[in-house]
Amino acid sequence: MEGEEVIRDSIRLIVKEVEQASREIITTLQGVHKPNGLSQIPSICKRAREQFSNIKKLYASLKDKVPADEFYRYHEHWRFVTQRLVFSTAFIIYLETGKLIGREESADFLGISADPSDSFHVELDDFLVGLLLLAEELTRLSLNCATYGDYARPVQIAEFVSEMNVGFRLLNLKNDLLRKKFDGLKYNLKKVEEVVYDLSIRGLIPVESSQKEKIIKS
């Protein structure tokens, strides 16, 4: 027991550093929500990517502290910060490409594996929660884009979140947190569709009649 507590203490110290580094990355990414943030997306993403170099070092240290084959014994210590970091990686990729990040690509940002057979990896549920956090952030971005006059982006976001919703519906979510987050995804989808509908009513974007009916029914 004494040996295990020593391990936990050393893990907690590293996780504390990871949490601080994660907050710094999120602060950088929040710049896209500022009035001039959309025009600065390339530089914001570049800066956030650079900040992940520190994350890789910290996860390497964390991996060294976790005994082989005891990943799940200590996983709770870094679970939540990993979810937030997955969100950050997903947000970067979305801002850069408009696409959904894969688990392996997200793990690369952290410098660890996506393979569950590896002794230290990005756990599947953590990855999925991170994606659902992305949907929350995109809802906020959609509203801000409409405010700042970028009317095309809310349409793109609505399509993206709709595709996410379809994908998550195919999953058998056994994790309670995941199920709650998925309920939030449905709410976020409704919000981004309402933004698109509002813009169409005001004549700021074209929208298909089928999409109007879908939003009204939801």
Q: Residues 188, 136: contact at Cβ < 8 Å?
A: yes
User: Is 137 known as a binding-site position?
Assistant: yes
Q: What is the number of residues in the chain? A: 218
CA angle 25, 112, 9 (to 5 degrees): 75
Give the alpha-carbon dihedral of 44, 45, 50, 54, to 10 degrees: 100
DSSP letter assigned to residue 32: G
Q: Residues 99, 48: contact at Cβ < 8 Å?
A: no
Binding residues: 137
Binding residues for Mg(2+): 137
